[in-house]
Homo-oligomer: A and B are copies of this chain.
Amino acid sequence: MVELAAHQTYGNEVNVAETMQEMGKVAQQAARILATATSEQKDKALLQAAKAIREHEEVILKANLKDLEAGQEKKLSASFIDRLELNTQRLKNIAKGLEDIAKLDDPVGTFLAEWERPNGLQIKRIRTPLGVIGVIFESRPNVTADAGALCLKAGNAVILRSGSDSYHSSRAIHDCLIAGLKTAGLPEGAIQIVPTTDRAAVGEMLTGLSGAIDVIVPRGGKSLVERVQNEARVPVFAHLEGICHIYVDGEADLQKAIDIVVNSKLRRTGICGAAETLLIDKAREDFVEPICKALADKGCEIRADERVSRLLSFASRADEEDWKTEYLEAILSVALVDGISGAIDHINRYSSNHTDAIISENEVTAQQFFNEVDSAILLHNASTQFADGGEFGMGAEIGIATGKMHARGPVGVEQLTSFKYCVSGNGQTRA
Protein backbone atom coordinates (compact mmCIF):
# COMPACT_ATOMS: atom_id res chain seq x y z
CA MET A 1 0.00 0.00 0.00
CA VAL A 2 1.38 3.42 -1.00
CA GLU A 3 1.09 5.73 2.02
CA LEU A 4 -0.47 9.16 1.61
CA ALA A 5 0.77 11.93 3.85
CA ALA A 6 -1.84 14.44 4.98
CA HIS A 7 -1.43 17.50 2.83
CA GLN A 8 -0.92 20.86 4.40
CA THR A 9 -4.17 22.76 4.69
CA TYR A 10 -4.36 26.47 4.26
CA GLY A 11 -7.14 28.82 5.22
CA ASN A 12 -7.96 32.11 3.64
CA GLU A 13 -5.02 33.62 5.45
CA VAL A 14 -2.54 32.42 2.80
CA ASN A 15 -0.38 35.28 1.57
CA VAL A 16 -0.75 34.48 -2.11
CA ALA A 17 2.19 36.47 -3.46
CA GLU A 18 4.60 35.05 -0.89
CA THR A 19 3.30 31.51 -1.24
CA MET A 20 3.64 31.62 -5.01
CA GLN A 21 7.16 33.05 -4.91
CA GLU A 22 8.12 30.30 -2.52
CA MET A 23 6.55 27.68 -4.80
CA GLY A 24 8.57 29.08 -7.67
CA LYS A 25 11.81 28.63 -5.74
CA VAL A 26 10.89 25.13 -4.64
CA ALA A 27 10.03 24.24 -8.25
CA GLN A 28 13.37 25.53 -9.53
CA GLN A 29 15.26 23.47 -6.97
CA ALA A 30 13.24 20.39 -7.88
CA ALA A 31 13.82 21.05 -11.59
CA ARG A 32 17.59 20.93 -11.10
CA ILE A 33 17.28 17.50 -9.53
CA LEU A 34 14.75 16.25 -12.10
CA ALA A 35 17.04 17.30 -14.95
CA THR A 36 19.41 14.49 -14.06
CA ALA A 37 16.90 12.02 -12.60
CA THR A 38 16.96 8.62 -14.30
CA SER A 39 14.10 7.31 -16.43
CA GLU A 40 13.67 4.52 -13.88
CA GLN A 41 13.12 6.99 -11.05
CA LYS A 42 10.60 9.04 -12.99
CA ASP A 43 8.73 5.95 -14.16
CA LYS A 44 8.71 4.51 -10.65
CA ALA A 45 7.15 7.73 -9.37
CA LEU A 46 4.44 7.47 -12.03
CA LEU A 47 3.70 3.80 -11.43
CA GLN A 48 3.57 4.28 -7.67
CA ALA A 49 1.27 7.26 -8.09
CA ALA A 50 -1.02 5.08 -10.22
CA LYS A 51 -0.94 2.45 -7.50
CA ALA A 52 -1.78 5.07 -4.87
CA ILE A 53 -4.78 6.22 -6.94
CA ARG A 54 -6.06 2.64 -7.23
CA GLU A 55 -5.52 2.01 -3.53
CA HIS A 56 -6.98 5.25 -2.23
CA GLU A 57 -10.10 5.36 -4.35
CA GLU A 58 -12.25 5.94 -1.29
CA VAL A 59 -10.29 8.97 -0.11
CA ILE A 60 -10.36 10.52 -3.57
CA LEU A 61 -14.07 9.90 -4.11
CA LYS A 62 -14.79 11.45 -0.70
CA ALA A 63 -12.89 14.58 -1.70
CA ASN A 64 -14.72 14.54 -5.02
CA LEU A 65 -18.05 14.36 -3.22
CA LYS A 66 -17.16 17.58 -1.40
CA ASP A 67 -16.62 19.28 -4.76
CA LEU A 68 -19.80 17.76 -6.22
CA GLU A 69 -21.92 18.93 -3.29
CA ALA A 70 -20.50 22.43 -3.49
CA GLY A 71 -21.08 22.36 -7.25
CA GLN A 72 -24.70 21.35 -6.84
CA GLU A 73 -25.19 24.11 -4.30
CA LYS A 74 -23.69 26.59 -6.77
CA LYS A 75 -26.09 25.15 -9.38
CA LEU A 76 -23.30 24.35 -11.83
CA SER A 77 -24.56 22.98 -15.16
CA ALA A 78 -25.10 19.26 -15.68
CA SER A 79 -22.24 19.07 -18.19
CA PHE A 80 -19.94 20.87 -15.74
CA ILE A 81 -20.88 18.46 -12.96
CA ASP A 82 -20.27 15.58 -15.35
CA ARG A 83 -16.72 16.76 -16.07
CA LEU A 84 -16.15 17.18 -12.35
CA GLU A 85 -17.46 13.81 -11.27
CA LEU A 86 -15.10 10.93 -10.50
CA ASN A 87 -16.06 7.29 -10.12
CA THR A 88 -14.30 3.94 -10.01
CA GLN A 89 -13.98 3.70 -13.78
CA ARG A 90 -12.71 7.23 -14.18
CA LEU A 91 -10.13 6.71 -11.45
CA LYS A 92 -9.00 3.52 -13.19
CA ASN A 93 -8.59 5.53 -16.39
CA ILE A 94 -6.55 8.14 -14.56
CA ALA A 95 -4.28 5.47 -13.07
CA LYS A 96 -3.98 3.80 -16.49
CA GLY A 97 -3.04 7.17 -17.99
CA LEU A 98 -0.14 7.47 -15.55
CA GLU A 99 1.02 3.97 -16.42
CA ASP A 100 0.84 4.78 -20.13
CA ILE A 101 2.99 7.86 -19.65
CA ALA A 102 5.52 5.77 -17.72
CA LYS A 103 5.76 3.52 -20.80
CA LEU A 104 6.67 6.38 -23.16
CA ASP A 105 10.29 6.84 -24.16
CA ASP A 106 12.14 9.32 -21.96
CA PRO A 107 12.95 12.28 -24.22
CA VAL A 108 15.63 13.74 -21.92
CA GLY A 109 19.22 13.10 -22.97
CA THR A 110 18.40 11.94 -26.47
CA PHE A 111 20.51 13.32 -29.33
CA LEU A 112 18.57 15.62 -31.64
CA ALA A 113 21.53 16.02 -33.93
CA GLU A 114 25.20 15.16 -33.96
CA TRP A 115 27.96 16.25 -36.30
CA GLU A 116 31.69 16.76 -36.54
CA ARG A 117 33.48 19.91 -37.66
CA PRO A 118 36.56 19.90 -39.90
CA ASN A 119 38.67 20.91 -36.86
CA GLY A 120 37.56 17.74 -35.05
CA LEU A 121 35.01 19.33 -32.70
CA GLN A 122 32.15 16.90 -32.02
CA ILE A 123 28.87 18.78 -31.65
CA LYS A 124 25.80 17.17 -30.08
CA ARG A 125 22.39 18.76 -29.68
CA ILE A 126 20.85 17.09 -26.65
CA ARG A 127 17.31 17.22 -25.27
CA THR A 128 16.97 18.76 -21.83
CA PRO A 129 13.88 19.54 -19.75
CA LEU A 130 12.34 22.97 -20.17
CA GLY A 131 12.54 23.64 -16.44
CA VAL A 132 9.38 24.72 -14.63
CA ILE A 133 5.95 24.50 -16.23
CA GLY A 134 2.84 26.20 -14.91
CA VAL A 135 -0.46 24.48 -15.73
CA ILE A 136 -3.66 26.41 -15.15
CA PHE A 137 -6.75 24.27 -15.62
CA GLU A 138 -10.45 24.33 -15.10
CA SER A 139 -12.53 21.82 -13.25
CA ARG A 140 -11.42 18.49 -14.73
CA PRO A 141 -9.69 16.68 -11.86
CA ASN A 142 -7.99 14.23 -14.26
CA VAL A 143 -5.79 17.05 -15.59
CA THR A 144 -4.00 17.03 -12.23
CA ALA A 145 -2.65 13.57 -13.01
CA ASP A 146 -2.18 13.92 -16.79
CA ALA A 147 -0.39 17.25 -16.67
CA GLY A 148 1.66 16.39 -13.61
CA ALA A 149 2.78 13.12 -15.17
CA LEU A 150 3.68 14.53 -18.60
CA CYS A 151 5.74 17.31 -17.06
CA LEU A 152 7.52 14.84 -14.77
CA LYS A 153 8.25 12.42 -17.62
CA ALA A 154 9.97 15.23 -19.53
CA GLY A 155 12.02 16.09 -16.43
CA ASN A 156 10.19 19.30 -15.61
CA ALA A 157 8.92 20.57 -12.29
CA VAL A 158 5.30 21.66 -12.50
CA ILE A 159 3.07 24.05 -10.60
CA LEU A 160 -0.57 23.04 -11.01
CA ARG A 161 -3.38 25.48 -10.45
CA SER A 162 -6.69 23.65 -10.30
CA GLY A 163 -10.03 25.27 -10.94
CA SER A 164 -11.70 26.10 -7.64
CA ASP A 165 -14.67 23.80 -8.30
CA SER A 166 -12.45 20.70 -8.48
CA TYR A 167 -10.07 21.86 -5.78
CA HIS A 168 -10.57 19.01 -3.30
CA SER A 169 -10.55 16.30 -5.97
CA SER A 170 -7.38 17.70 -7.49
CA ARG A 171 -5.63 17.87 -4.15
CA ALA A 172 -6.54 14.27 -3.35
CA ILE A 173 -5.09 13.15 -6.69
CA HIS A 174 -2.08 15.35 -6.06
CA ASP A 175 -1.50 13.57 -2.75
CA CYS A 176 -1.15 10.35 -4.74
CA LEU A 177 1.37 11.94 -7.10
CA ILE A 178 3.41 13.12 -4.11
CA ALA A 179 3.32 9.62 -2.66
CA GLY A 180 4.73 8.34 -5.95
CA LEU A 181 7.52 10.94 -5.96
CA LYS A 182 8.47 10.07 -2.39
CA THR A 183 8.64 6.35 -3.10
CA ALA A 184 10.92 7.05 -6.05
CA GLY A 185 13.19 9.32 -4.02
CA LEU A 186 12.31 12.38 -6.08
CA PRO A 187 11.65 15.81 -4.54
CA GLU A 188 8.05 16.58 -3.61
CA GLY A 189 8.61 19.99 -5.20
CA ALA A 190 8.54 18.27 -8.59
CA ILE A 191 4.73 18.44 -8.68
CA GLN A 192 3.19 21.22 -6.62
CA ILE A 193 -0.42 22.30 -6.49
CA VAL A 194 -1.41 25.85 -5.58
CA PRO A 195 -2.82 25.51 -2.04
CA THR A 196 -5.52 28.14 -2.39
CA THR A 197 -8.43 28.88 -4.70
CA ASP A 198 -7.63 32.60 -4.59
CA ARG A 199 -7.56 33.78 -8.22
CA ALA A 200 -4.66 36.10 -7.44
CA ALA A 201 -2.47 32.99 -7.70
CA VAL A 202 -3.17 32.87 -11.44
CA GLY A 203 -1.90 36.41 -11.85
CA GLU A 204 1.30 35.53 -10.02
CA MET A 205 1.83 32.53 -12.30
CA LEU A 206 1.24 34.59 -15.43
CA THR A 207 4.01 36.99 -14.52
CA GLY A 208 6.32 34.00 -14.19
CA LEU A 209 7.16 34.15 -10.46
CA SER A 210 10.33 36.21 -11.00
CA GLY A 211 11.52 34.03 -13.83
CA ALA A 212 10.86 30.71 -12.10
CA ILE A 213 8.22 29.56 -14.59
CA ASP A 214 9.45 28.83 -18.12
CA VAL A 215 6.14 28.17 -19.83
CA ILE A 216 2.43 28.32 -19.01
CA VAL A 217 -0.08 25.80 -20.30
CA PRO A 218 -3.73 26.77 -19.89
CA ARG A 219 -6.23 23.92 -20.09
CA GLY A 220 -9.78 25.11 -20.36
CA GLY A 221 -12.28 27.21 -22.28
CA LYS A 222 -11.74 30.23 -24.46
CA SER A 223 -12.05 32.81 -21.69
CA LEU A 224 -9.29 31.16 -19.64
CA VAL A 225 -6.98 30.85 -22.64
CA GLU A 226 -7.71 34.42 -23.68
CA ARG A 227 -6.81 35.75 -20.25
CA VAL A 228 -3.62 33.71 -20.15
CA GLN A 229 -2.54 34.77 -23.65
CA ASN A 230 -3.22 38.42 -22.94
CA GLU A 231 -1.66 38.64 -19.52
CA ALA A 232 1.17 36.10 -19.52
CA ARG A 233 4.68 37.46 -19.42
CA VAL A 234 6.09 34.01 -20.13
CA PRO A 235 5.59 31.81 -23.21
CA VAL A 236 2.25 30.03 -23.49
CA PHE A 237 1.47 26.69 -25.19
CA ALA A 238 -2.18 26.88 -26.17
CA HIS A 239 -4.80 27.34 -28.78
CA LEU A 240 -7.53 29.92 -28.37
CA GLU A 241 -10.03 28.10 -30.55
CA GLY A 242 -10.28 25.41 -33.18
CA ILE A 243 -12.20 26.77 -36.15
CA CYS A 244 -11.42 23.71 -38.25
CA HIS A 245 -12.30 23.63 -41.95
CA ILE A 246 -12.91 20.81 -44.38
CA TYR A 247 -12.59 21.58 -48.06
CA VAL A 248 -14.27 19.10 -50.39
CA ASP A 249 -12.49 19.49 -53.69
CA GLY A 250 -14.10 19.00 -57.09
CA GLU A 251 -12.00 15.87 -57.45
CA ALA A 252 -13.11 14.36 -54.14
CA ASP A 253 -14.55 10.88 -53.76
CA LEU A 254 -18.09 11.65 -52.61
CA GLN A 255 -18.51 8.72 -50.24
CA LYS A 256 -15.14 9.46 -48.60
CA ALA A 257 -16.20 13.09 -48.28
CA ILE A 258 -19.50 12.18 -46.61
CA ASP A 259 -17.84 9.81 -44.14
CA ILE A 260 -15.06 12.22 -43.24
CA VAL A 261 -17.29 15.29 -42.94
CA VAL A 262 -19.82 13.50 -40.74
CA ASN A 263 -17.06 12.12 -38.53
CA SER A 264 -15.21 15.45 -38.37
CA LYS A 265 -18.32 17.32 -37.29
CA LEU A 266 -20.31 14.84 -35.26
CA ARG A 267 -18.07 12.19 -33.66
CA ARG A 268 -17.63 14.58 -30.76
CA THR A 269 -18.81 18.14 -31.30
CA GLY A 270 -17.23 19.61 -28.16
CA ILE A 271 -13.54 19.00 -28.92
CA CYS A 272 -11.15 21.45 -30.50
CA GLY A 273 -10.57 19.25 -33.56
CA ALA A 274 -14.28 19.16 -34.49
CA ALA A 275 -14.99 20.71 -37.91
CA GLU A 276 -16.87 24.00 -37.86
CA THR A 277 -16.93 25.01 -41.53
CA LEU A 278 -17.39 22.98 -44.70
CA LEU A 279 -16.18 24.41 -48.00
CA ILE A 280 -17.26 22.74 -51.24
CA ASP A 281 -15.81 23.34 -54.69
CA LYS A 282 -18.41 25.28 -56.69
CA ALA A 283 -17.60 23.06 -59.68
CA ARG A 284 -19.42 20.24 -57.89
CA GLU A 285 -22.69 21.74 -56.66
CA ASP A 286 -24.03 18.18 -56.81
CA PHE A 287 -21.89 17.33 -53.75
CA VAL A 288 -23.78 19.79 -51.56
CA GLU A 289 -27.05 17.96 -51.07
CA PRO A 290 -25.77 14.44 -50.27
CA ILE A 291 -23.11 15.69 -47.82
CA CYS A 292 -25.43 18.11 -46.02
CA LYS A 293 -28.28 15.60 -46.00
CA ALA A 294 -26.03 13.03 -44.27
CA LEU A 295 -25.24 15.63 -41.62
CA ALA A 296 -28.83 16.79 -41.19
CA ASP A 297 -30.02 13.21 -40.87
CA LYS A 298 -27.78 12.91 -37.83
CA GLY A 299 -29.18 16.08 -36.29
CA CYS A 300 -26.68 18.63 -37.52
CA GLU A 301 -27.91 22.16 -38.24
CA ILE A 302 -26.61 23.56 -41.52
CA ARG A 303 -25.88 27.29 -41.84
CA ALA A 304 -25.33 27.97 -45.51
CA ASP A 305 -24.02 30.82 -47.60
CA GLU A 306 -26.26 32.23 -50.29
CA ARG A 307 -25.31 29.76 -53.03
CA VAL A 308 -25.55 26.71 -50.80
CA SER A 309 -28.94 27.89 -49.47
CA ARG A 310 -30.35 27.85 -52.95
CA LEU A 311 -29.46 24.16 -53.24
CA LEU A 312 -30.91 23.05 -49.91
CA SER A 313 -34.40 23.12 -48.50
CA PHE A 314 -33.32 22.48 -44.90
CA ALA A 315 -30.49 24.99 -44.32
CA SER A 316 -30.61 28.26 -42.44
CA ARG A 317 -28.53 31.23 -43.64
CA ALA A 318 -25.02 31.88 -42.35
CA ASP A 319 -23.89 35.42 -41.69
CA GLU A 320 -20.35 36.82 -41.40
CA GLU A 321 -20.20 35.85 -37.72
CA ASP A 322 -20.70 32.17 -38.56
CA TRP A 323 -17.37 31.90 -40.41
CA LYS A 324 -15.63 33.11 -37.25
CA THR A 325 -17.48 30.85 -34.84
CA GLU A 326 -16.28 27.70 -33.11
CA TYR A 327 -19.71 26.20 -32.43
CA LEU A 328 -18.59 23.16 -30.43
CA GLU A 329 -22.14 21.96 -31.15
CA ALA A 330 -23.97 20.09 -33.92
CA ILE A 331 -23.96 23.12 -36.20
CA LEU A 332 -21.88 23.48 -39.38
CA SER A 333 -21.38 26.50 -41.61
CA VAL A 334 -21.20 25.61 -45.31
CA ALA A 335 -20.01 27.63 -48.31
CA LEU A 336 -19.26 27.07 -51.96
CA VAL A 337 -15.79 28.26 -52.95
CA ASP A 338 -13.92 28.84 -56.13
CA GLY A 339 -11.80 25.67 -56.18
CA ILE A 340 -8.63 25.16 -54.15
CA SER A 341 -7.60 28.82 -54.24
CA GLY A 342 -11.02 29.91 -53.03
CA ALA A 343 -10.77 27.39 -50.22
CA ILE A 344 -7.28 28.55 -49.23
CA ASP A 345 -8.38 32.19 -49.25
CA HIS A 346 -11.35 31.42 -47.02
CA ILE A 347 -9.25 29.36 -44.61
CA ASN A 348 -6.40 31.83 -44.37
CA ARG A 349 -8.99 34.50 -43.58
CA TYR A 350 -11.00 32.67 -40.91
CA SER A 351 -8.87 29.78 -39.68
CA SER A 352 -7.59 29.67 -36.14
CA ASN A 353 -4.50 27.81 -37.45
CA HIS A 354 -5.47 24.69 -35.54
CA THR A 355 -6.54 21.93 -37.97
CA ASP A 356 -7.82 22.03 -41.54
CA ALA A 357 -8.54 19.22 -44.00
CA ILE A 358 -8.89 18.67 -47.73
CA ILE A 359 -10.81 15.84 -49.38
CA SER A 360 -9.49 15.24 -52.87
CA GLU A 361 -8.25 12.41 -55.08
CA ASN A 362 -5.86 14.85 -56.75
CA GLU A 363 -2.44 14.70 -55.07
CA VAL A 364 -1.27 17.96 -56.62
CA THR A 365 -4.26 19.82 -55.20
CA ALA A 366 -3.67 18.23 -51.79
CA GLN A 367 -0.03 19.31 -51.92
CA GLN A 368 -1.04 22.88 -52.70
CA PHE A 369 -3.33 22.79 -49.68
CA PHE A 370 -0.46 21.50 -47.50
CA ASN A 371 1.86 24.20 -48.83
CA GLU A 372 -0.41 27.20 -48.65
CA VAL A 373 -2.48 26.71 -45.52
CA ASP A 374 -0.47 27.64 -42.45
CA SER A 375 -2.17 25.65 -39.69
CA ALA A 376 -0.54 23.45 -37.08
CA ILE A 377 -2.24 20.34 -38.48
CA LEU A 378 -3.30 19.74 -42.08
CA LEU A 379 -5.09 16.58 -43.17
CA HIS A 380 -5.70 15.03 -46.55
CA ASN A 381 -8.56 12.54 -46.83
CA ALA A 382 -8.88 12.03 -43.09
CA SER A 383 -11.06 13.32 -40.29
CA THR A 384 -10.18 16.52 -38.39
CA GLN A 385 -10.94 14.60 -35.21
CA PHE A 386 -7.50 12.98 -35.51
CA ALA A 387 -6.05 16.25 -34.19
CA ASP A 388 -4.87 14.67 -30.96
CA GLY A 389 -1.53 13.66 -29.46
CA GLY A 390 -2.74 10.14 -28.75
CA GLU A 391 -3.91 9.71 -32.36
CA PHE A 392 -0.55 11.04 -33.53
CA GLY A 393 1.16 8.31 -31.53
CA MET A 394 2.74 10.73 -29.06
CA GLY A 395 1.13 9.03 -26.09
CA ALA A 396 -0.65 11.63 -24.04
CA GLU A 397 -0.74 15.32 -24.82
CA ILE A 398 -0.93 18.31 -22.52
CA GLY A 399 -2.85 20.25 -25.16
CA ILE A 400 -2.66 21.48 -28.73
CA ALA A 401 -0.73 24.63 -29.59
CA THR A 402 -1.36 26.95 -32.50
CA GLY A 403 1.58 29.27 -31.92
CA LYS A 404 4.55 29.07 -34.29
CA MET A 405 7.20 28.96 -31.61
CA HIS A 406 8.72 25.87 -30.02
CA ALA A 407 5.64 23.63 -29.72
CA ARG A 408 2.97 23.40 -32.41
CA GLY A 409 0.15 20.90 -32.82
CA PRO A 410 -0.20 18.24 -30.12
CA VAL A 411 2.07 19.02 -27.16
CA GLY A 412 3.45 15.73 -25.83
CA VAL A 413 6.51 14.93 -23.75
CA GLU A 414 8.98 15.83 -26.50
CA GLN A 415 7.44 19.27 -26.86
CA LEU A 416 7.94 19.84 -23.14
CA THR A 417 11.71 19.79 -23.62
CA SER A 418 14.45 22.20 -24.65
CA PHE A 419 18.00 21.32 -25.72
CA LYS A 420 21.62 22.29 -25.31
CA TYR A 421 24.77 21.88 -27.36
CA CYS A 422 27.52 19.72 -25.92
CA VAL A 423 30.79 20.16 -27.80
CA SER A 424 33.74 17.83 -27.28
CA GLY A 425 37.25 18.69 -28.37
CA ASN A 426 40.84 17.77 -27.69
CA GLY A 427 42.37 21.17 -27.15
CA GLN A 428 40.96 23.18 -30.07
CA THR A 429 41.43 26.94 -29.97
CA ARG A 430 39.96 29.41 -32.44
CA ALA A 431 42.22 31.03 -34.99
Binding site for B on A (CB under 8 A): 32, 35-36, 115, 117, 121, 123, 126, 128, 130-131, 214-215, 235, 253, 256, 259-260, 262-264, 267, 348, 366, 370-372, 374-383, 385-386, 391-393, 404-406, 408-409, 418-430
Q: Contact: B406 with A405, CB < 8 Å?
A: yes
Contact present for A421 and B405 (CB under 8 Å): no
> When the two chains form the complex, which single residue of B131, B264, B393 contacts A115, counting CB atoms closer than 8 Å?
B393
In the complex, the chain B residue whose C-beta lies closest to that of A123 is: B392
In the assembled complex, the Cα of A253 lies from the Cα of B381 at a distance in Å of 62
Q: How far is A429 from B256 in the complex, measured between Cα atoms in Å?
A: 9
With both chains docked as a complex, state the minimum distance between the C-beta of A166 and any C-beta of chain B, in angstroms: 27
Q: Give how many copies assemble into the complex.
A: 2
Q: 8 A-B contacts, Cβ less than 8 Å apart?
A: A32-B374, A35-B372, A36-B371, A130-B404, A259-B429, A262-B429, A379-B424, A385-B430
**CA of A115 to CA of B391, assembled, Å:** 12
A382 and B427 within 8 A (CB): yes
Query: Closest residue of chain B to A31, judged by CB?
Result: B374
Residues of chain B lying within 8 A (CB to CB) of residue A253: 427
CB-CB under 8 A from A256, the residues of chain B are: 426-427
Docked CA distance A205–B117 (Å): 37
Could you tell me if B123 and A370 are in contact, using CB atoms closer than 8 angstroms? no
Q: Is the CB of B348 within 8 A of A32?
A: yes
Q: Tell whether, in the assembled complex, residue A421 and residue B214 are in contact, meaning their CB atoms are under 8 Å apart.
A: no
Cα(A380)–Cα(B424), bound, Å: 5
Known interface pairs A260-B429, A376-B420, A381-B424; 13 further A-B residue pairs with C-beta atoms within 8 A, sorted by A's residue number: A35-B374, A235-B405, A267-B429, A366-B424, A375-B420, A376-B421, A378-B421, A379-B425, A383-B429, A385-B429, A386-B423, A392-B421, A408-B419
